[in-house]
Amino acid sequence: MKNTFGNAISITLFGESHGDMIGAVLDGLAPGLEINEQYINEKLALRRPFGKISTSRAEADPFKIISGVFNGKTTGSPLAIIIPNNNAKSGDYADLKDIPRPSHADFTANVKYHGYQDYRGGGHFSGRITAAVVCACAILQYALENKGIYLGSHICYMQGIEDKNIECVEDIKTLANLQFPMLNEKAKEQALEIIESVAKDGDSVGGVLETVVLGMPAGVGEPWFDSLESMLSHAIFSIPGIKGIEFGLGFGFADVNGQLANDNFAINDQKIVTKTNNNGGINGGISNGMPIVFRSVVKPTPSIYKEQQSIKLSTMEEQPLIISGRHDPAIIHRARVVVDSLTAFTLADMLTVRYGTDYLAKDGE
């Protein structure tokens, strides 16, 4: 469904980078969910650029919930959010329609939309849209936390640098307060150095995010097309710049034998657990009660200051291109919040499919 996702709960996105506003509609919400504006703002703040490693476009993201909330709680009817675009400088992008930026969506958008697309600042393809995603999904992430389900992501890898693992709810809470989400201080410094260094060089950098979900009940997901992996990857791949996802041991499964790969069972505190978690908490597409663990890779920001080879569409000639305007040398730390957001959305949706409309608002269980 193009810009709508979800079965029991759905999210619909709209907006362009340089339009009046962007927004999202959440439908199928349980009535009675609390709207915690501070929580939403904290999530939005994490998505915003910071310090030297981000663009100078200051996005305050003063979101406005225009429906679906009454007396501070969800009503159960569609919750629409709008966020004005205050700071767009359209002039910066005027040339880009004819000369598409390499590895951006400029060219494919032009083919798909026959030249009618709003090309300014990437239009509907802009990372700007993710502010609406974060805002909407924060409501669901907060509801999940009230059910004891915590999730968070960190930069687990970037150009040789590795972070320590997320191991407990405390780690997730720590990450929720970090603008640059790495748990190991040393690794974090090194990663920031890499980013500053490529920034000075007019270049950019990507990395790998690892997401961990704690407290997910067993028995959620489907054997075939709505497997947890299918639904999560469907959501995560909609984020601009994500080019890979792996669950548990992921591509590492290609290097080990079954005996090592298999997760043996054990009883722990009268609960069934597995001794290892190579399957990332999912068997046969269904949660098994262990932490859900996946990693997604963010490609280097395609907007760089170096000369690149493009083409002039109007004349079909090759054309060198130097991109001006503002752009981040890295977006992985900002993309992290979007990954969290769509993870929260997908799990909230699948729990609602399983347990009914009111589940997220119910106490207990």
Site string for its own copies, 136-175 (x = CB under 8 A): ---------------------xxxx---------------
121 binds its own copies (CB under 8 A): no
Contacts of 290 (CB under 8 A, 6+ apart): 263, 273, 274, 277, 279, 280, 281
Q: Which of residues 244-283 bind its own copies (CB under 8 A)?
A: 244-251, 253-259, 261-267, 270, 272, 274-275, 278-280, 282-283
* Alpha-carbon gap, residue 204 to 202, rounded angstroms: 7
Angle between helices 332-355 and 130-146 (to 10 degrees): 50
The nearest distance, CB 170 to its own copies, in angstroms, is: 26
CB of 230 to its own copies, least distance (A): 4
When the beta carbons of 57 and 124 are compared against its own copies, the nearer one is: 124
Positions 165 through 224 that interact with its own copies (CB under 8 A):
198, 201, 203-208, 218-224
* 20-28, 38-46, 49-57, 333-341 -> range binding its own copies (CB under 8 A): 20-28
Report d(CA 28, CA 195) in Å as an integer. Answer: 41
Name the one residue in this structure whose structure tokens are 């639904």.
231
The strand pairing partners of 271, in sequence order, are 268
Q: Where are the alpha helices (DSSP H) in 118-184?
A: 130-146, 169-175
Q: Which of 43, 47, 49, 74 binds its own copies (CB under 8 A)?
A: 74
Stretch that binds its own copies, among 35-43, 48-56, 182-190, 349-357 (CB under 8 A): 349-357
Question: What's the closest the beta carbon of residue 336 comes to its own copies, in angstroms?
Answer: 14
Is residue 355 close enough to count as binding its own copies by CB under 8 A?
yes
Q: Which is nearer to its own copies, 176 or 332 (CB)?
A: 332
Based on CB atoms, which residue is closest to its own copies, 177 or 259? 259
Query: Which residues within the stretch 304-333 sit at the binding site for its own copies (CB under 8 A)?
Result: 304, 306, 308-311, 313, 316-318
Phi and psi for 344 in degrees, rounded to 5? Answer: -60, -45
Q: Tell me the closest approach of the beta carbon of residue 332 to its own copies, in angstroms.
A: 9
Torsion of CA 318, 243, 155, 37, to 10 degrees: 100
Residue partners of 294: CB distance under 8 A and separation at least 6? 210, 211, 229, 232, 236, 245, 246, 247, 248, 250, 280
